[in-house]
Structure 1
Amino acid sequence: MTSKTARKSFASKITALALTSAMFSLTFTSFAHAGDTLPYTGESAKGTNQPYQHGYASSHILDWTPQSDPYSDLLRARVPLQQRNQAFAPTQANPKLNPNTQNFTLSGDYGNSFFDSYSYTNEFSEYLFNYWQYTDFYGYWHGMPTAGVPREMYDPNKDWTEKWFEFGILNIPNPAYTNAAHKNGVRSIACIFFSDNDRGPQTYKQMLVQDENGDFPVAKKLVEMAHYYGYDGYFINQEEASKGVAPADIPLYKQFLKYLKDQGMYVQWYDSTVNDTGAIDYQNEFNAVNSPFVKDSQYGQISDSIFLNYWWDKEKLKKSSEHAKNLGLDPLQTVFAGIEGGNGDFGRWKQKYDLRLNLDDQGQPMNSIATLGADFTHNALDEELGGEDRNLRANDDYQWMTFVRDRAWWSGPNLDPSHAERNADADLADVKASGANWDGMAAYIAERSVINGSSFSTSFNTGHGMQYYVKGAVSNPKEWSNINIQDIPVTWQWWLETKGSKLNVDFDYGPQYTAGPRYTYQSIGAYNGGNSLVVNGKLDADNFLHLYKTDLAVKSGSKLSLTYNKPSADDSSAVSVGLIFKDQPNQIVYVPVPDTGKQTSGWATRELDLGAYQGRELASIGLKFANGGHSISNYQVNIGQLRITDGTTSAPSAPTGFHVTKALTGTNEMYVAWNLADYKQVKQYNLYENGVYVGGIYDSAYYIKKLTQRKGELSLTAVGADGTESAPAKVSYNLDAGVSNISVETKKNGHAFVTWVQPKDAAGDIKLTLKTEYTDQPFTKSWTVKGKSQSAQLTGLPLNGDTYSLDISIGDGQPVTYRGKLADYEIEPYAKENVSVNGNTYTLALPTMKDWHYIYVYEDGVPKEFGVTYVQRKFPYIVRGRTKLSDLTFTANSSTSSLKLVIEDYTGNQATTILR
């Protein structure tokens, strides 16, 4: 990994870079398939006990319970889905756009990480999505190993084909992303993916199992999981090319989908549609072959929509829209034209897909739009710029490129959603000939908003930072990513209106941030969070910056406060807040902010009375930067916070039930919990350690990766809709008050020998309680030893390798927690009834147990060989996750030979099953 402190020469990485306010152009080396998000190192490396996500095989879904799923209590999304405002065309960047056109974004969350999918961590370079306003559904596309796969099996330096572990067919959404999506009115969608190569021997048949009543237990579990983890539905990609779907199973598949939809799940089907023979048959349009997987003649509506495969044209899209209408379906609700982000020479932004082909004669989209891999703007930095350095996406110095590329993808090549088209006046032939056929998504999708009611607060926080600021001062000097606390994004990035030079607009992450060659502003940082909004450049005419699309009720007590920092010298400039009301949407009402032409010595706050506008509905908010009749060079002002309050809101009550659940003294980690208040009263909780900001979330639990001090005080505040913090709830801690240097040695006989170091002033007997975690075989046992003891023998422990927590307390003191794994000396034999026999041919069902790695099949003592995915190799055993589905069926060499099956787990334990 590249050093954080090293300042690279951008010229050595970029062939050409030209960024102007008129046109966006980036020239890189040609695009290649983006690789993995590599594990972070140093301080950003995974915490010893940091909660992380995993994938799910079908058998794991069938057995799923909240109690047995690793870290389930710390991976729930709790923000309810917010209602979006009704469309209001006059304040759209493009008022002619049909607001009913939808977008389904299928992409990574923080990146394409396997063992490192966290809700929040101390790394700035995580990919943070910042364009919820153009998205209706966000699905999660990246592989994650199933639970229990040892992390040591992953070598990030090896090729994709050398990943010898099992990926789940189900990836559930990252809960932090679900919280951010819901905050913006976006539905969060899990992904189910069947593929010959990527998911090895896993197949749809394992998902479509039925019980004695004909019901689908896996489907029931999928609904239960969605409710527990807080997401909204499933994107289903049935792409097993070699065998397809058995024709007899097609009705079952449709019933399975219908069950999910009928239970309130949003279901989108991918156009890898099976035809009547069950073969994979990409249609690239919505027609009679794939429409039965949306609306079936027998079962009715069985899914909500379809993601069309990519090779459509104008005629196919026109026929798709017409076919939907003939079925009584709205094509803007049902049909999504698919685009694969980064596919093609996208380093030069020559996209293969031209969404103008989806426009009707009136210039409106005929179908909605779906994209796969919009996060290529981040992860493809490695391939396009990497050269000898293949992990630029993790280098803080290059994050500005992600931000610019993101803005080009969403706001268009001019980085202006009001002019999202690259060649607005060119005809289609010219656009195709030039290759410049990518317009921003804003050219087709009207922006949405959830800003309503009578209160609103933003610090323009994008959800990560090089430092964390509180009221303009650095509270925590460490870098961080936490999309849980991302503010509602600025609606238009960037929509500036002027008759003169356009100012530059950016997010200012502070002096440690590399802003790139486009920007020359003085880095100030944030007022609250990780960044502020900075506006700078030559101010030779008034500039109006559109910020937020809203539906806010103005009351008699309504006030607007603006916190700003102006480092540039005193001048004739002035800042005004621009208000656009629904009853006069073509008029901007300017409310001057006093003294904004003067240089400040830091952050200043000005409050404006909006009572004169009571009874009116505020449809949009922006800022005007006026030059006062003089041309001003090197103008700069940072906007740190914008708040609207109706005068009736008050700070929430202090949180209740705040306590430490685990104090992991050996690693300085800690888990804390509290009682969760209703989202109507509390939008977020902020956690502090000895006054230093730790993190925030809307949840009832939080993981602290590393306490900076061994003793002190934790405080927790609740944040209301207008950004006001409550009084803190407090809890003291002292990691040195209990035992330390805990060591546990587990033994094959079910015993464990525990040692520790006593504090000098310890008094009272010592109680030890061991409890297994996240298991379907719960176990709890306690032991008490005399005071001053520094060791204990624990007996009668399971030998199944389960994770456990060991709490050790002295007298009535606070327990200290040690987490580890029990000794693993057990493995269940493979069940003989899971073998299907047809003459001399045997078919093995995949084991349903969670802890297995290899299966050996011996015929007369000689191991049989099995092929694997991706590479032309055979192994003398079945490899979990990589052996081909077809190779689970084999024919014995002789009808009279002996057959023996040996199953082996990750630890090396083996069990034998005699087949004959």
Structure 2
Amino acid sequence: MTRKRLNNKRMPKMTALALSAVLLSQLSATPALAGDTLPYEGISAKGENQPYQHGYTSAQIMDWTPESDIYGELLRARVPLQPRNAAFAPTQASPELSPDTQMFTMSGDYGNAFFDSTPYTNKFGQYLYNYWQYTDYYGYWHGMASAGVPEELYDPKKDWTERYFEFGILNIPNPAYTNAAHKNGVLSIANIFFSDNDRGPQTYKQMLVQDENGEFPVARKLVEMAEYYGYDGYFFNQEEVAKGVAPADIPTYKRFMKYMRDQGMYVQWYDSTVDGTGKIAYQNEFNSANSPFVKDAQLGQVSDSIFLNYWWNHDMLTKSRSHAESLGLDPLETVFAGVEGGNDSFGRWKQKYDLRWNLDENGQPMNSIATLGADFTHNGLDEDMGNSSANHRADSEYQWMTFVRDRAWWSGPNQDPTDARRNANANLADVYASGANWDGIAAYIAERSVIRGGNFFTSFNTGHGLDYVRNGTVSSDQEWSNINIQDIPVTWQWWIDTAGERLDVDFDYGPKYEKGARYDYQSIGAYNGGSSLVVNGNLNAENFLRLFKTDLTVNEHSKATLTYNKPTAADASSLSLGLIFAETPNEVVKVEVPDSGQQTDGWKTVSLDLSPYAGKNIAALGLSFDNNDSTINTYQMNIGELRITDGSAAKPEAPEGFRIDKALTNTDEMVVTWDIEDYDKVKQYNLYENGAFVGGIYDSTYYIKSLKHMRGELAITAVAADGTESEPTTLPYDLTAGVQDVEVAFDVYGDASVTWKNPDDTAGPIELTLETEYTNEPFTTTVQADAGEQQAVITGLPKNGQHYVLNISIDGQAPVTVTGQLADLEITPYAKELVTVTGKTYTLALPTLTDWHRLYVYENDVPREFGVTYVSKKFPYIVRGRTKLSELTFTPASTTSSLKLVIEDYAGNRATTILR
């Protein structure tokens, strides 16, 4: 795409919010260029065995299997896509806004880390997407190194042009983000990206290979990957500028996409390549030059939609609508007008391309909307603070800035979705973003909801925290991020109806949280999870805070349970649950909380009877804060939990099959597994270690990054739709009973020398079982050591660096596990059939070895030099991922010279192929 940041070349200058006078003065510094998400340090550093994602080349896709993919079993999304409620205009922030306009959000997940893209970790300062209600499709704009790239090749301190390693053409969605997307009815979309610089010698031709039957093995594998990892489709970003797509390949490319669409994948095409010529020429509108990549005259519909490049105007978008309709396509399903998040080429928050240009004569969007880089609100913190070498976006104390910037992007400069349009004449002191040329997304996209049925539960958990709280008590004091367990976001941030002064609303992350200059409330923190909802300020008139758009049925058993904390002195105020019924959408029915003006001693839970409203449908709900004709200057109310139940959500059974899969005692890590129940019965599993919360997920496995105790009890519970937890299934463990301090060393023959320390009361033989993992050719071997022995040698092992799992058990007891890679002592020579000779010219195809690193070409024993992307340097070898595609074609200096190729892998092994 125009921004081309998948592997993070210099990030564009991002935008800023006028958060306060203090922040404005900070933002006046000279902007720098934001960098990548740097590896976390200290206790937040990635665990030695922590699963993380990687990119995929076309060859790796073709060879993909669930068994061979690194960490594959720990990176699956399991939450099924949830249905969304039918549109109901009376409870929209803008009732006149058509709900048919769709939103494609292409953004990072937790950030843009090359080797640290994990589903969950102990770091608060990650980007947590919190606006699913405005999104229909979430695509992942992320750069990740291909599988097997050694992490030591990445030096985060070096310039972005000095990344001499390979990025994949495919980035699949982070599974935790897919789970969160599906929970909110959003499709999760992988990204396929071809670019001369960003992907070096990788080209679309390697993807479009066909077998003897004319079928596409890569396309077939892409469908299998989506089904296994649980995501929904692909975004194609074809931007090879130098050569484009060969005209003869265009029909093949279309058939490739059509195959995937026919298999149920959602497919979106980027407005880059022109039909017929295959050249890069951004149309910035939907017309005959790019529409055949959506609907072809011969093939029919080959993709679902197009992401238009950004340089459009009202006339171009009007013609886009007309062209779609002329093809029998709905422009609101097919055409997405692109917006680059944070584009400040013309000033901070001053988008040159105005979404008002997409409105028709009735004020309705003519086409749908797509944005690239909504995470700029987080990623741009460093440059906006005037120091690109800092890592403010990872620091807990700066996260409040991200949250306010997010609200300005989505809810508009006034942080109010009912007033999402910009006011160019407003004083910066009166709004929270300069926004001189930007309306919030809420001005164009009607909010959606999946809250339906008879049960709903929220603890206002945004998916991260500075500690984890359970029923008002801190269960774990570690910071964390885990969007798997993010509650359905508050629908409107913030919609308040009042005739008086508007209260402030925020998420309260507790006393450790830096809430910024704007907020002044007593930090209390969560009741369950990482945050609560806090409302504070001068209460001089009733404030009705609308929270959730819903379609909830009420019966004779329905009730609401509310947990709240009022830390300020007793006053005349009252708190009520506000219900808006579909039958009377202009009326708020208040169900008052008794004695809610009294100061509480911590958290208080009340139950409210909803049976008088049996037979009605709750179309929206919120909270009313009433001053009751008094003036209350220091009002504060924290809401920790809200439940709506009708008695139909059964308490889940305790989980079955709970067991330790890997006890990684060397690093205090562990992997546990259990039997997963259907999502209609269980929405989440919670894991505890000796009573302390470890993490939550809807899955059958979990990676524990840091055990706090070597012995004790693990417990797991299942959570129902109304938040009810099952009884725990417990699992006693004692890691002190097994061997300790295991070390594995390999000699020059590839044999493994294993040493360990026995516990004091060792009795019985010791068994060592080594098996390879993440391979389609599994290998297993077992050796026995006598009781009391503390060393063993394992011979006959594969010698190509395969990943292994070594389990060591004493007398048949639960084993201790260590993992690693076997010795890498072998390399296969470069295959001569990969060389194409045309006259005097040689063209080299990329090696098919999974671990090749460099390819040397010697003419009369003198190495040829090859240019790389981004810089003018040349190297005496082809470097994987960075040598230019054009450099793979060369003409020797002489027709009689000797030519040989030497291939080298990541371990330094070399093999020679004589060409002539």
Q: TM-score range by the shorter chain?
A: over 0.9
The alpha carbon displacement at 1:27 in A equals 4.9
The alpha carbon displacement at 1:19 in A equals 8.0
| Conserved? CA contact 2:424–2:437, under 8 Å | no
Residue 553 of structure 1 aligns with an amino acid whose one-letter code is T
| Conserved? CA contact 2:454–2:648, under 8 Å | no
Counterpart position of 2:305? 305
* Equivalent-residue separation in structure 1 for 2:914 and 2:868 (angstroms): 24
* Equivalent-residue separation in structure 2 for 1:238 and 1:66 (angstroms): 27
Residue 556 (structure 2) pairs with residue 556 (structure 1): yes
* Equivalent-residue separation in structure 2 for 1:910 and 1:29 (angstroms): 51
* Equivalent-residue separation in structure 2 for 1:590 and 1:570 (angstroms): 21
The 5-angstrom pairing of residues 698-713 of structure 1 reads 698-713=698-713
Specify the SS of the correspondent of 1:853: strand
The alpha carbon displacement at 1:647 in A equals 1.8
| Conserved? CA contact 1:464–1:479, under 8 Å | yes
Counterpart position of 2:591? 591
* Equivalent-residue separation in structure 2 for 1:891 and 1:236 (angstroms): 34
| Conserved? CA contact 2:867–2:875, under 8 Å | yes
- 1:205-244 Cα distance to aligned partner (Å, 9 max, x none): 0000000000000000000000000000000000000010
Specify the SS of the correspondent of 1:401: helix
Specify the SS of the correspondent of 1:157: coil
Residue 111 of structure 1 aligns with an amino acid whose one-letter code is G
* Equivalent-residue separation in structure 2 for 1:694 and 1:435 (angstroms): 41
Counterpart position of 2:518? 518
- 1:89-145 Cα distance to aligned partner (Å, 9 max, x none): 000000011101000000000001110000000000010000000000000001100
Residue 677 (structure 2) pairs with residue 677 (structure 1): yes
Residue 20 of structure 2 aligns with an amino acid whose one-letter code is A
* Equivalent-residue separation in structure 2 for 1:640 and 1:558 (angstroms): 20
Change over 3 Å in CA distance of 1:503–1:26 after alignment to 2: farther
Change over 3 Å in CA distance of 1:418–1:346 after alignment to 2: farther
Counterpart position of 1:18? 20
Counterpart position of 2:418? 418
- 1:285-318 Cα distance to aligned partner (Å, 9 max, x none): 0000000000000000000000000100000000
TM-score by length of structure 2 reads: 0.96
Counterpart position of 1:443? 443
* Equivalent-residue separation in structure 2 for 1:370 and 1:521 (angstroms): 37
* Equivalent-residue separation in structure 1 for 2:17 and 2:217 (angstroms): 55
The alpha carbon displacement at 1:276 in A equals 1.7
Change over 3 Å in CA distance of 1:803–1:692 after alignment to 2: same
Residue 680 of structure 1 aligns with an amino acid whose one-letter code is D
| Conserved? CA contact 1:547–1:621, under 8 Å | yes
The 5-angstrom pairing of residues 622-641 of structure 1 reads 622-641=622-641
Change over 3 Å in CA distance of 1:29–1:89 after alignment to 2: farther
Specify the SS of the correspondent of 2:588: strand
* Equivalent-residue separation in structure 2 for 1:306 and 1:278 (angstroms): 16
Specify the SS of the correspondent of 1:397: helix
Counterpart position of 1:360? 360
The alpha carbon displacement at 1:349 in A equals 1.7
Change over 3 Å in CA distance of 1:24–1:472 after alignment to 2: farther
Specify the SS of the correspondent of 2:586: strand
The 5-angstrom pairing of residues 309-320 of structure 1 reads 309-320=309-320
The alpha carbon displacement at 1:348 in A equals 3.1
The alpha carbon displacement at 1:733 in A equals 1.0
Change over 3 Å in CA distance of 1:304–1:28 after alignment to 2: farther
Specify the SS of the correspondent of 1:84: coil
Gaps of 5+ in 1: 1-12, 427-433
* Equivalent-residue separation in structure 2 for 1:907 and 1:622 (angstroms): 60
| Conserved? CA contact 1:576–1:623, under 8 Å | yes
Residue 516 of structure 2 aligns with an amino acid whose one-letter code is G
Specify the SS of the correspondent of 1:545: strand
Counterpart position of 1:530? 530
| Conserved? CA contact 2:310–2:339, under 8 Å | yes
Counterpart position of 2:11? none
Counterpart position of 2:216? 216
Counterpart position of 1:93? 93
| Conserved? CA contact 2:68–2:775, under 8 Å | yes
Counterpart position of 2:429? none
Counterpart position of 1:203? 203
The 5-angstrom pairing of residues 688-703 of structure 1 reads 688-703=688-703
* Equivalent-residue separation in structure 2 for 1:435 and 1:621 (angstroms): 30
Residue 871 of structure 1 aligns with an amino acid whose one-letter code is V
The alpha carbon displacement at 1:437 in A equals 1.6
| Conserved? CA contact 1:15–1:28, under 8 Å | no
* Equivalent-residue separation in structure 2 for 1:654 and 1:346 (angstroms): 58
Change over 3 Å in CA distance of 1:854–1:249 after alignment to 2: same
Counterpart position of 2:477? 477
Residue 85 of structure 2 aligns with an amino acid whose one-letter code is N
Specify the SS of the correspondent of 1:220: helix
| Conserved? CA contact 2:123–2:480, under 8 Å | yes
The 5-angstrom pairing of residues 739-888 of structure 1 reads 739-888=739-888
Residue 152 of structure 1 aligns with an amino acid whose one-letter code is E
| Conserved? CA contact 2:541–2:627, under 8 Å | yes
| RMSD between superposed Cα atoms in Å | 1.7
* Equivalent-residue separation in structure 2 for 1:29 and 1:265 (angstroms): 46
Change over 3 Å in CA distance of 1:343–1:16 after alignment to 2: closer
Q: Which moved more, 1:29-38 or 1:748-757?
A: 29-38
Counterpart position of 1:322? 322
The alpha carbon displacement at 1:808 in A equals 0.1
Counterpart position of 1:394? 394
The alpha carbon displacement at 1:839 in A equals 1.4
Residue 452 of structure 1 aligns with an amino acid whose one-letter code is R
Residue 249 of structure 2 aligns with an amino acid whose one-letter code is D
Gaps of 5+ in 2: 1-14, 427-433
- 1:154-197 Cα distance to aligned partner (Å, 9 max, x none): 11111110111000000000000000000000000000000000
Counterpart position of 2:10? none
Counterpart position of 1:609? 609
Residue 177 of structure 2 aligns with an amino acid whose one-letter code is Y
* Equivalent-residue separation in structure 2 for 1:17 and 1:329 (angstroms): 43
Residue 819 of structure 1 aligns with an amino acid whose one-letter code is T
* Equivalent-residue separation in structure 1 for 2:288 and 2:563 (angstroms): 58
* Equivalent-residue separation in structure 2 for 1:411 and 1:25 (angstroms): 24
| Conserved? CA contact 1:31–1:344, under 8 Å | no
Specify the SS of the correspondent of 2:655: coil
Change over 3 Å in CA distance of 1:612–1:25 after alignment to 2: farther
Counterpart position of 1:35? 35
**Identical counterparts, % of pairs:** 69
| Conserved? CA contact 1:534–1:638, under 8 Å | yes
Specify the SS of the correspondent of 1:410: helix
Change over 3 Å in CA distance of 1:17–1:88 after alignment to 2: closer
* Equivalent-residue separation in structure 2 for 1:171 and 1:341 (angstroms): 20
* Equivalent-residue separation in structure 2 for 1:187 and 1:681 (angstroms): 22
| Conserved? CA contact 1:310–1:338, under 8 Å | yes
Specify the SS of the correspondent of 2:587: strand
* Equivalent-residue separation in structure 2 for 1:538 and 1:81 (angstroms): 42
The alpha carbon displacement at 1:273 in A equals 1.8
Q: Which moved more, 1:280-289 or 1:749-758?
A: 749-758
* Equivalent-residue separation in structure 2 for 1:18 and 1:174 (angstroms): 34
Residue 913 of structure 2 aligns with an amino acid whose one-letter code is T
Counterpart position of 2:157? 157
| Conserved? CA contact 2:27–2:384, under 8 Å | no
| Conserved? CA contact 1:548–1:622, under 8 Å | yes
| Conserved? CA contact 1:901–1:915, under 8 Å | yes
| Conserved? CA contact 2:460–2:489, under 8 Å | yes
Q: Which moved more, 1:23-32 or 1:517-526?
A: 23-32
* Equivalent-residue separation in structure 2 for 1:33 and 1:214 (angstroms): 46
Counterpart position of 1:4? none
- 1:330-386 Cα distance to aligned partner (Å, 9 max, x none): 000000000111111587322222100000010000000000001000001011114
Residue 757 of structure 2 aligns with an amino acid whose one-letter code is V
Residue 585 of structure 1 aligns with an amino acid whose one-letter code is P
Counterpart position of 1:7? none
Counterpart position of 1:344? 344
- How many residues get paired? 895
* Equivalent-residue separation in structure 1 for 2:649 and 2:20 (angstroms): 48
Specify the SS of the correspondent of 1:315: helix
Residue 364 of structure 2 aligns with an amino acid whose one-letter code is Q
* Equivalent-residue separation in structure 1 for 2:743 and 2:26 (angstroms): 55
* Equivalent-residue separation in structure 1 for 2:621 and 2:27 (angstroms): 36
